Amino acid sequence: MTVGFDLKGKVAIVTGAGSRASGIGNGRAAAVLLADAGAHVVVVDSAPEHMEETQKLIAERGGESLAVTADVTDPDACAAVVEQAMDAWGQLDVLVNNVGVAGPSGTVLDVDLLAWDQCLRVNLTSMVLMSRVAIPRMRTSGGGSIINMSSVAGLVGGHQGIAYPTTKAAIVGLTRTMAAHHGREGIRVNALAPGAVHTPMVYSQGIDEAAREQRRLAAPLGTEGTGWDVGDAVLFLASPRSRWITGTVLPVDAGLTATLGTYTPSVTAAPPAQADTGPQR
Ligand SMILES: NC(=O)c1ccc[n+]([C@@H]2O[C@H](COP(=O)([O-])OP(=O)(O)OC[C@H]3O[C@@H](n4cnc5c(N)ncnc54)[C@H](O)[C@@H]3O)[C@@H](O)[C@H]2O)c1
């Protein structure tokens, strides 16, 4: 399953590696798949109970993980995460900056500015804080891969609130600039832009079947994505198979951003029955 994606002996940190509800979130899937590939995985979350299921899954599949409770908006907590990774396994190769929150609603006219600042701190500044303590350790480990979680909301307009897509667009700039700054050190920096994946982040806020169906049909593939689809992309960008790729933003969105937002299928056949769940992982 992991041929060519071997991460044996590598050490990865995944922030937001818990999930706010049962099921498979992007961070949980990334942590599990990196461990499947042989990496020692440091799972980080501000809510320790969110990480229990992630660690259980990793252990059941024969992987190794260490849970660290940390709020990634706190510089000291970020430093402690990296130190614990180094104490446990002596190197650092992969950092997945996955933490992200929906943030406040509202336009520029009425968004709550304290909540706006907090959303920037959680979604964007946390990536700077984690990267600034991880990069020196990656240098001494001979290079590394950083994967920042953006969103299709950061690539196109039309989102209901101003805060979330602004942070996700800023992550694109952060990623490209970091890639240029750290390429010569053998550190690759890429971003993922998930589309309307069905994860605990989405269904814990309540989504009815009609809205779910609308999200599914909005994209050319017409199938529903899950956290595993995002996790697979993380695994690719973490692995040597992407060794010549840096500074990219990879949509994982069933083709949503390849269309004009007025997508009408010209082929109306139903997708294959198994396509909604994809392969077992
Ligand atoms: N689900 C989607 O449809 C979708 C689409 C596009 C992008 N994304 C992005 O994916 C990422 C998260 O996906 P997920 O499925 O793992 O979400 P999730 O909500 O299931 O998990 C995120 C975890 O982050 C933790 N967290 C929140 N703030 C934290 C902080 N300050 N410090 C440490 N941990 C913190 C939470 O406790 C939670 O367990 C986010 O960046 C999100 O914007 C999701």
Mean pLDDT (10-residue bins), the chain, 281 residues: 81 96 95 98 98 98 98 98 98 98 97 98 99 98 98 94 98 98 98 95 87 93 96 98 98 94 68 66 77
43: Cβ–Cβ under 8 A, 6 or more apart, which residues?
14, 17, 18, 31, 51, 54, 55, 58, 65, 66, 67, 68
Q: Is the CB of 26 under 6 A from ligand 1?
A: yes
The per-residue pLDDT for 277 is 66
The per-residue pLDDT for 262 is 65
Determine, yes or no, domain membership for 31: yes
Determine, yes or no, domain membership for 108: yes
Q: Is the CB of 71 under 6 A from ligand 1?
A: yes
- Alpha carbon separation from 212 to 148, 159, 197 (Å, rounded): 26, 17, 10
Q: Could you give the CA distance from residue 3 to residue 5 in angstroms, rounded to a whole number?
A: 5
Determine, yes or no, domain membership for 193: yes
Length reported for the chain:
281
The per-residue pLDDT for 23 is 92
Domain assignment of residue 241, given as a range? 11-276
Determine, yes or no, domain membership for 183: yes
Tell me which residue of 196, 199, 202, 195 sits closest to 249, measured CA to CA.
195
The per-residue pLDDT for 140 is 97
Q: In what order do the strands lie in the sheet with 11-15?
A: 64-69, 40-45, 11-15, 94-97, 144-149, 187-194, 249-252
The residue to mutate among 14, 24, 26, 167, having the most atoms of ligand 1 within 8 angstroms of its beta carbon, is 26
Q: Whose CA is nearest to atom 24 of ligand 1?
A: 16
The per-residue pLDDT for 263 is 64
In ligand 1, the atom with minimum distance to the C-alpha of 72 is 32
CATH of the domain at 266: 3.40.50.720
Residues 131, 108 contacting (CB under 8 angstroms): no
Main-chain dihedrals φ then ψ at residue 187, nearest 5 degrees: -110, 120
Cα torsion angle, 208, 209, 211, 212, sign: positive
The per-residue pLDDT for 272 is 63
Q: Could you give the CA distance from residue 181 to residue 235 in angstroms, rounded to a whole number?
A: 23
CA 231 distance to own-chain centroid: 8
Determine, yes or no, domain membership for 5: no
Number of domains into which the chain is organized? 1
Structure tokens at 246: 């840096």
Determine, yes or no, domain membership for 19: yes
Structure tokens at 177: 């600039």
- What is the identity of the amino acid at 74? D
Determine, yes or no, domain membership for 218: yes
Determine, yes or no, domain membership for 4: no
The residue to mutate among 33, 51, 99, having the most atoms of ligand 1 within 8 angstroms of its beta carbon, is 99
